[in-house]
Chain A
Amino acid sequence: MSARPSGGFWRRLVSLTRKEVRQLLRDRANLMMGIALPIVLILIFGYGLSLDVKNAPVAVVLDDASPVARDVVAGLSTPGYLAPRVVGSAHEAYALMRARDVDAAVLVPADFSRRLAAGEAQVQVLLQGADASRATMIRGYVAGALASWSQKRADRGEAARPAAGQVQVVDRMWFNAANTSTWYLVPGLIVLIMTLVGAFLTALVMAREWERGTLESLFVTPVRPVEVLLAKIIPYFCVGLIGLALCLAAAAFLFQVPMYGSLLVLLFSAMLYLLVALGIGLVISSVTRNQFLASQVALIASFLPALMLSGFMFDLRNVPTAIRVIGQILPATYFMELIKSLFLAGNNWPLIARNCAVLAAYAIVLLGVARFVTRKRLD
């Protein structure tokens, strides 16, 4: 084999790659997946998804019509956070809660001002628990609004100024000055799109060739398995890079996500991850050799974990250890951590070195397995 002139390798690789590119471009479903879907996802993630709770509708029931009770209600109205509206009765508030027209209801009891004079008044806050994270935020907003109302009242001298000093929390949000989820959702999207193109699309295309036996007809030609694999990888690698370019452009120009790290490091690590994803796709397809199975396995083994377990939407710090271990096995987790840091925090060399090394190791192992599995089928 080694006696063969190396020119043969390149000639065969170029013509094989040309065949693959043609095959890829022929079906517009491929292009939809490779180009249109990333664009749709960018727009949805950038404009459509937001975890930020802003202007939450809250029903207020005033059983105490005294000026001080009205003042508390006015204090609840915090632009950007809570949007209170006074309703006539508790029943009306319950109905609004049930219909999910409001997220919470604040009930000011009839004895509010009397008890406030005694120094300990209460308001009841009903929360719609059907969205727990939203409810948690709103509970915090209401408590905060009440605390600052008390503070203001104390400052105005309407209540005895506390003798002791108070601790004042001064928050500083690093890496996300705008405090918006777009800033971490859009960089994370790069991981999702590379996983889609690399693992899902490749697994599907290769599985189809296995299923229809066209791969075997390729194998009876003088091409070597490694050339077949390379020719498959190259076009999808390019499609993945187009997706990356789209994401980067959207992040920079559409959503103004800052980028503090080095673009070169980002490109390098993205290419590494793309190789990992391609490796996953190739291994899945040659193990299943069936389009339906391959698509399902690719979905379950690569895409869904990248969405749910990589720290993209849900913070890995909050999950039980067993799940965190699963997350830590996934290559997507390392790329996700790296890319978020590169975008929002800057070049953190120990992190870059460690995560790139992990990704490189995954790429070598997975592509090696793909090469091995492909050869085995030939014999």
Chain B
Amino acid sequence: MDAFIDFWRRLAQLCRKELLAILKDPANRAILVVPALLQSLVFGYAATYNLTNVPYAVLDQSQGAASARLLARLDGTGVFHRVATLAAPRDIARVVDAGEALLVLQFGPDFDARLAQGQDAPLQVILDGRNSNTAGQASAHVAEIVAAYNAELRGGGMPVTAVPRVWYNPNLETRWNIMPALIAALSMMQTLMLTALSVAREREQGTFDQLLATPYTPMEIMLGKAVPPVLIGLVQSSIILGVTLFWFRIPMAGSLATLYAGLAIFTVACVGIGLSISAISVNMQQAMLYTFVLIMPLMLLSGLATPVRNMPDALQFATLANPLRFAIDLVQRVYLEGAGLLSLWRNLVPMFVLGAVTLPLAAWLFRHRLV
């Protein structure tokens, strides 16, 4: 029993030392809080796939009532803003090339006449495909408006209408997906970096040997290195969670306890990866470069920016070793869908396994290098 209490006392002292080493520098303290705050605010606004502003130009060769009514519908959405009224087809290239208009609507000279005679009339939509995602969405939006206009022309509704109902995100705002994902992603970046540097710094400054000369076992030293970054990572997640909850006011469906349980397992897995990098690096620069080379694929293949399901099978398989993939899914499920801990086993188990592999691996690597 005494040995047990002794172990915890020694561990607490080690953790205290490590936390001091990280937090004693005011610039360091700032870098652990300010970026998380700033990034979650900026990216919360910037990271959107929602179409809110489509500048468009019109080339109306018919100058009739039908095209005017259709354009009025377009302007009524508040999303489409007319930036230019063109006189001739040769102007189309100018406004699209310069990026002034995302799309150009071209009504042919006989547009009005054809509709009046009960014939179908084509509406040319020229889209700037330099961002195919935006262009595709804008095109879909135009199609919806035209469909509604067609219904009006027919003098009745569509025979079949779809009544959409969206689960978990009623207004289909991308921010609702991105912010929970950032709770995991942003904290991972700094947690990994911090952990990777911890041993590398001591090694570079020669203080690691001093640490080894103390009566601590390598396991204790490793735990001392692991606990503070886990705490800091959770604090960072909390900052982003705070921004999500109180600034963007995205309602949280799940429980905080479930969320933190998931995040804790995730952060431990990250720290295990970070410590393993730290163990194989000779100096801080190497540790940082290795970490960065790793962070990039981890972030890109996590489902943060593009869905995992769109990836080729081989890469989907590779994402099984990516803790962030599971963490993002987990946070979104808890936050938006209100999932309980038990239903999250598909996310928890892989992260747990990653932590259970990388932490002993790091300990082994330390010993291995020391002997």
Contact = CB atoms under 8 A, between A and B. Distances in A.
B169 A123 contact: no
Contact of A150 (B160, B169, B197): B160
Given A127-B172, A317-B55, A132 B50 contact: yes
B367 interface: no
A128 B168 contact: yes
A33 interface: yes
Given A128-B168, A292-B197, A300-B39, A50 B311 contact: yes
Contact of A291 (B49, B189, B284, B293): B284
Given A146-B161, A292-B197, A304-B39, A164 B155 contact: yes
Contacts of B164: 124-127, 139, 142
Interface in B158-172: 158-170, 172
Nearest to A324: B46
Nearest to A145: B162
Nearest to B140: A140
B153 interface: yes
A214 interface: no
B163 A124 contact: yes
Contacts of A300: 35, 38-39
Interface stretch (A240-248, A264-272, A345-353): A345-353
B290 A129 contact: no
A186 to B, nearest CB: 12
Given A146-B161, A179-B132, A293-B27, A130 B125 contact: no
Interface residues of B, number: 112
Interface stretch (B8-16, B96-104, B211-219, B348-356): B96-104
A52 B305 CA distance: 12
Interface string A186-218: 000000000000001100110010000000000
Nearest to A150: B159
B48 interface: yes
Nearest to A56: B309
Interface string A326-352: 110000000001001100111010110
A132 B310 contact: no
A219 interface: no
B127 interface: yes
A116 B35 CA distance: 56
Contacts of A351: 97-99
B123 A168 contact: yes
19 contacts: A29-B281, A33-B293, A49-B300, A52-B136, A120-B161, A123-B161, A126-B167, A127-B172, A132-B176, A137-B136, A150-B160, A165-B116, A172-B124, A315-B131, A319-B48, A322-B45, A326-B42, A327-B46, A340-B131
